[in-house]
Structures are given as C-alpha cells and as structure tokens.
Amino acid sequence: MESQPDTEALPSEHREWKITNLTLRDGQQSTLALKDWVLDTAKMARILVASQKAGFDSAEIAGGQSFQTAISNGYNPFAITDALSNALVSADGSVLEIELQMLFRGANALGFRHYDKDVVEATLREFIKNGITKIRCFDALNDIDNLDIPESVRDSKGVVMQGALCFGHYHEAPERYTDDYFLAYAKQLVEKGFRQIAIKDMSGQMTAARIATLLPKLQEYLRPQGIPIELHIHSTNELTSREAATKAIELGIDSIETVEGPLAGGSSHHSLESIAPSRVINQRAYRELVDLSTRVWGTQIQRKDEEIQAELKTRLCRAGVPGGAMPFVIRDLKTQMPTIVAKRAQILEKEKNRRDKFVVHREGVATHESHGELDFSDVLELFLIELKRVCKDAGYPLLVTPTADICCKQAISNLAFSVNPYSEDITERYIHSSGNTGADPRFAKLVLGHYGECKAYDQKGSVYRSEENVLDFFEEYNPLQLTRVKKHPSTKMLGNDMCQARAAAWKLIHTQGSKALSFANFDQLTLMYALRPAGAHGVDPIEKAVLAYTERADSVRIGETGVTFPGFKVIMQPILEHLGALFAQRSTITPEQAMNLPLGTFGQNLYRRLFRTYVTLPITQEVTRVRNNLTNLISSDHTSPQLKESVALVGASFDNLDFRPVQVGETHYEEAREAFRQLSIADLFGALALTHSLINSVDKHGTDPWSPVEKAITMAEIRRYGRSKIEEGATEWERKLASSIGTRYYQVETVLQRHIERWRSID
C-alpha cells in the first residue's frame, strides 16, 4: 500500500468519490456458512465505527440473505440494525456520519417469492424505523415493474433510495444484455424515483473493456441530473474484476464497494487497498479497521468459497454462476455424481448401435466416447452445458438470487433424474424416469412468468419469453398446476400475507409470552412470519429462533442459580445487545455507570420493546395474583389492625414498584411507557428483584408479610440502597431491606462487568 499522510478522514462532500464497506453483510454472505456469521452487535458495531473513522461513507448491514440468516441463528434482524444505529451516537450526543445500507429484492422483499405490497412497504418502513438510511433495491430479472417504491418509503426524510441494475451477459446471446439495454433500464429506474444507481455485478463477469463502454453511457445520462453511480463487483474472477474496478475508478465512478480483512477477495469483493491504495485517506484508521476485522473473524475461518478449486471457479464464473451459489452447485454435483454418471452410461448403452455415438463436448479437452469414465471436471462440464440450455428455456434470465439458485438446481436435477438430459426433446429433459415431472415448481413459475418479465427495454416494449413449446410444456407439466401469467405478477397479490402472518405472530406470543416479545415486537414477528421461506414446513422457524435466542440469553445468568427473579434474562438480553453496540464509542464506561443509564439511552425502539416484555413477565402477572390474595386478610374479621396496616404497606409497595398502566386505555399506556423510559437499568432490576422477594415472602408467610413492615417501599429506597452503605442507626427492617436491594444490585452489576470485559477484549 502506498504511504499516505496520517490525517483525519475528510468529510464526504470534500471527496470526489465515496466508498461502502460490505464486510458485515455481503462479505459474510459470499464467504461463510450460515452458522459462522458474526451477528454479535458488539462486534458489528466496532466494525461500523472503525469503517467510518477509516473514511467509509456507508456500510451494508442488512438485507439479502442476512435477514434469513439472522433468524436461523436466533437473532432479530431488525434489532441488529437498531442497535447499530444507536451505536453511532456518542456520549456527547454527536452522531457519526455513515449511511446504514440494506439490500432489498423489490417485490421479493427479503424472501423468495412475490409478496403483497403491504408486506413490502411494512418491511421497508420497519427497517427505516430501526436505523436504515440507504436502501438498494434490485430485481433478479431487471423487471422495473417489480420495483415500485411505496410512497411512504420514497418520501421518508433522510433515506436514500438506490436502484440497482443487475449486470450479466450470455456468450450465446450477446444481443440480450447490451449497453443500450442497461442504459434504458437505468432510465426506467430514475423514472421510478431512484436517486442513485448501482451496477450490480454479482458473478464477476464485468471486464475493463465492458465498463469502458457501459459507464460513460450511464454517466452521460445520469450526471446532468446529479445521480451518482456506484459499482458493486464481486472478486470471484479476481484479475478481471480488479481490472474492471480500476477502469471504473479511472473513468470517475462516484462510489465503489469493498470488503475488508479476512473476508476480502475470493467470491467476496476486493479490499480498498487492493484496487485503489492511493484512495486510502487515513492510513492508520484503515489499518485499524483491517486489524479489527481480523480479530473479529479470525485467521482460521472456514471460507466456503476457498473450498472451490480455482479452475472450477473460473469455469463457473464464466457461465455467470455467482460465487455465493458455487458451493451448493459443487456440493450437489458431487452428491449426484454417481447418478449422473450412471445415467450417462445408460444412455450410451442405448445409443451404442448408432453410427454417431453420444459425445460429451468439452472445449479444449479431448472428447469422451462410448463408456469412457467421467471425472468431476467432466460432470461439471455436463452441468455447464445443461445450465445454458435451462437458461435458454427460461428466456436467459440473469443469474442472481433467486434465479441463480432456481436455474442451477434445475440443471442438476435434469442431469441426474430426467429420462434423457442430452435429448433435444424437452419432455425427455424435464420428465423423470419414473414418469413424474422433474421440473422444480420454482423453475416452472420462472418460465411461466410468475416472477416477472425479462423486458428488452426497446422502443417496441419487447419481452424475452420462453419459446412457445417450452411454455406449453410447463403449463402441462408442473406440480402446482400453474398457467402462464397473463397479468404482471406485481398486480396479482393474494392480499392475505399480512393477515396470516399476524395470526402466526399472535399465536407465538400466546405460547412463548415474554420470551417472544424480548426477541421482537409484534410488528417485527409479523414480518418475520410473512417473509419466512416458502418451503419452511414442520418446525416453526420463528419459534425456533425465539428458543435459540432464549438459550443464548442464558449467558446473562447470575451466579449458580442463574437468575435473581423469573424473566431476568429476557429483560437483560436485549439491553446487553444494545449496550454492547454502544460500547463501540463508549469503551470507558464502567459497570456502575452502565447501571445508571436510563432505558431511553438505547433508543425508542428498545425501551418500547422492553416495556411490552415487562408487562408480560410472569412476575408482573404474579403481582396481581398476590394482591388479590392479600384482600382476604384485609376483609377478614379476624385480622388485627396491625396486620391490616402491614398488608396495606405491602400492597402499596407493590404499587410503587409496578410500572404497568394504572388503568386500561391508550393515554394511561403512553404515560406508563414514558415513565418506564426514564428508569435506569438499576431502577428496573432493583424493582423487579424486590418485587420477587415480596411475592416470595407473601407466598411463604401470607398472614405475616414482611413483618414488621415499617413503611411502603418506593423507588427512593431502591436507589438509596443500591450502592450506599447501611446508615448508622438503621432499624432491623431497614437493614434487611438494604441487604436485599444491595445484594441484587451487586449481582446485576457483576453481569455487566463480565460483559464489559468481553467487549473490551474485542479491542
């Protein structure tokens, strides 16, 4: 790397171009197995803050596969963005200037099919509410009709809407994706209201020669309108993509995207220092970012993209297969290799009496005839040949999520299970030997137009469709009995996505109670159900996420018994996730200072979720039960005046330590929630712990609760006895009270101390 002055990063408006760090989202998606993702907000916040200090203008933290990955690992994707957004706020109230970016699949939202428009709108609004300030929208088919921006989102203050044109090309159909095509599509994106444009090269097919013709065309149209262009190019084809990125920089691209540290390169993205070392503004801060990334992910990570041989990767990349799809292609081909080889031998046997024996054509390699043995390289070549045919059948779609997954799996299925994958007869290629259709329902939907159209964007309004015989075949042979789409799928919504999701969320809260609400609020749970994978059957994936989250929350337990009161961990866990993120800019905070932070410090979204969790805790429900039982003593003719007074003081204590609304009604609820916001961590846990002690005392000694009770316990006592020593001349009852409160305070403080030490170890 070239030596640069060690100066502070310049404000973005003083630079000619901008940079986006994709490490936290696309860097992980391109290189790691789902179980290996880093989703710890304390670590993610360090990367985010370090990125800003190193001169990055934005960081991608959400969207794409990360939504489903977070849920499958027991994390709330909305809560992650909320915690990271709050991490940008320093102790003095200043906010670091860095855009928080997410990737969104248009009408497919964050799932794998077309969703009702209210789901699309609600999802975007929820992410904006939780801190996202830059949204990149793309469609796998570059179908502009799949990229309608809801008005409520388009008009959101401080939110940048970026439209991406997915780049790709077919050697067999060079006329399909020309520069004029991409220019025409960019014009459509601008007309839709997108104020930034991204070139999204997901498979690394872009070359320096192609960027040299495409970028100037786009700049000529977009620059007069003040619309910047950002380059998103994967480094799967390492040398070619580096040359393309370098050429884009030479031509004045407005923004580029990189991945830093151990996740850079391979099927991911180039690092900044590898493609533009002279553009590193602050050498020291940049090196700290790289070093931090190495500590977070380690040097011994298992990168799934590195398991693929370079020669195989090159061949797949040339065919347009994205790096993220390569591991499953290799895995599935190896799994099905015996079946594919046996299928080929069977077909060769049938053809052996023909003069022209079946030949496997492989460019640059001698052909195999008759019963020649196939190695994996040959099987891969068979796959690439069939993939071309499958893509042609589908109208040459771009290979990006979800089309890459759909087309690749269909090609493998044809090779392994169809009657004759080498036939020119479409029936033999897609019908299984058993006589059943081998067409993946998703592939049938793609061919029949259920994902949208492959528009040509020419003067005639042409659409690239499958050939008529292909359409006829898939109408006749598909397990879902689908027909070809006559109206665009974006106009044919069922209208019940949200309704069904709400019912599922309601059921989950009914069964899991405070655990579910600690994980996510009702609106977020609803959206998770709406966007869960269509193929998720059997085990409820959202309930599974809640249980995984609850299990992870066991790390906040206190001592050997694990808790100070029932429900402790479901209140503490979301606080720790946000406090860990805040620690990125407040690394000097002590456990005692953390204890005194108001819940409002963590932002509106968190304290509101905490409040909903609080009112559903078993312990708060127990208060109502115990108070009802105490009325038996008050109403008894045999209760002494002294006992009645003691009971009244205990009841008043419950009232003073209960933060629920005093009456039903929106006004009372808002007042209670506002009071809850002003509580400190120490206040909340002190009140809950003492309430638990009172409940146990009443249950154990119901006719003599906390005798002798000298006064009603208030929040003043909670705050006074938390850290203060017992005063001289204190009564026995006051000593007992102070000991109970002080012990609980120390236990909670110890939990915070343990986590603060862990957060410091990241640095």
For residue range 492-516, list pLDDT tens digits in order.
666 788 999 999 999 999 999 999 9
DSSP alpha helix (H) spans, 636-680: 641-656, 666-677
pLDDT at 221: 97
- Map out the domains of the chain as residue ranges: 17-307, 310-491, 557-762
| pLDDT of 699 over the 90 cut | no
pLDDT at 135: 97
Pairwise CA distance, residues 541 & 587, whole Å: 36
At 80-124, the pLDDT tens digits run 999 999 999 988 889 999 999 999 999 999 987 889 999 999 999
385 pLDDT tier (thresholds 50, 70, 90): very high
| pLDDT of 358 over the 70 cut | no
For residues 513-523, give the mean pLDDT.
95
Instruction: Supply angle C-alpha 132, 138, 142, rounded to 5.
Output: 165
61: helix, strand or coil? strand
368 pLDDT tier (thresholds 50, 70, 90): very low
pLDDT at 558: 64
| pLDDT of 3 over the 60 cut | no
Within 333-452, strands assigned E span none
At 205-256, the pLDDT tens digits run 899 999 999 999 999 999 999 999 999 999 998 999 999 999 999 999 999 9
Pairwise CA distance, residues 698 & 628, whole Å: 12
Structure tokens, 226: 């003040």
For residues 363-392, give the mean pLDDT.
76
Within 351-474, strands assigned E span 454-455, 463-464
CB 292 within 8 A of CB 46: yes
DSSP state, residue 166:
E
19 pLDDT tier (thresholds 50, 70, 90): very high
702 pLDDT tier (thresholds 50, 70, 90): low
Pairwise CA distance, residues 44 & 580, whole Å: 10
For residues 610-635, give the mean pLDDT.
86
pLDDT at 364: 39
At 139-190, the pLDDT tens digits run 999 999 999 988 889 888 899 999 999 999 998 889 999 999 999 999 999 9
| pLDDT of 13 over the 50 cut | no
| pLDDT of 564 over the 90 cut | no
For residues 299-309, give the mean pLDDT.
87
pLDDT at 225: 94
Which neighbouring-strand residues pair with 663? Answer: none
Q: What share of the chain is helix, strand, coil (3-state, %, to 5)?
A: 55, 10, 35
559 pLDDT tier (thresholds 50, 70, 90): low
Residue 550's Cβ-side half-sphere holds a number of Cα atoms within 13 Å equal to 15
Instruction: Supply angle C-alpha 179, 181, 185, rounded to 5.
Output: 115
DSSP alpha helix (H) spans, 207-321: 208-222, 238-250, 272-275, 283-297, 310-318
At 565-618, the pLDDT tens digits run 778 889 999 999 999 999 999 999 999 999 999 999 999 999 999 999 999 998
216: helix, strand or coil? helix
CB 341 within 8 A of CB 379: yes
349 pLDDT tier (thresholds 50, 70, 90): confident
| pLDDT of 133 over the 90 cut | yes
At 21-68, the pLDDT tens digits run 999 999 999 999 999 999 999 999 999 999 999 999 999 999 999 999
Mean of all residue pLDDT scores within the chain: 88
* Among the listed residues 520, 583, 528, the one whose alpha carbon sits nearest the alpha carbon of residue 40: 583
| pLDDT of 491 over the 90 cut | no
Architecture of domain 17-307: Alpha-Beta Barrel (3.20)
What is the amino acid identity at position 615? V
pTM to 2 decimals? Answer: 0.91
pLDDT at 707: 56
Pairwise CA distance, residues 75 & 44, whole Å: 13
| pLDDT of 687 over the 80 cut | yes
* Among the listed residues 479, 699, 651, 520, the one whose alpha carbon sits nearest the alpha carbon of residue 77: 520
Measure Cα distances from 707 to 71, 629, 642, 648, 713 in Å: 49, 17, 10, 12, 13
What region does 525 belong to: left with phi over 0, alpha with psi -120 to 50, or beta?
alpha
In terms of average pLDDT, the best of 263-272, 369-378, 475-484 is: 263-272
* Among the listed residues 152, 163, 216, the one whose alpha carbon sits nearest the alpha carbon of residue 191: 163
pLDDT at 300: 85
Q: Which residues contact 86 (CB under 8 A, 6 or more apart)?
A: 131, 578, 581, 582, 602, 603, 606
756 pLDDT tier (thresholds 50, 70, 90): very high
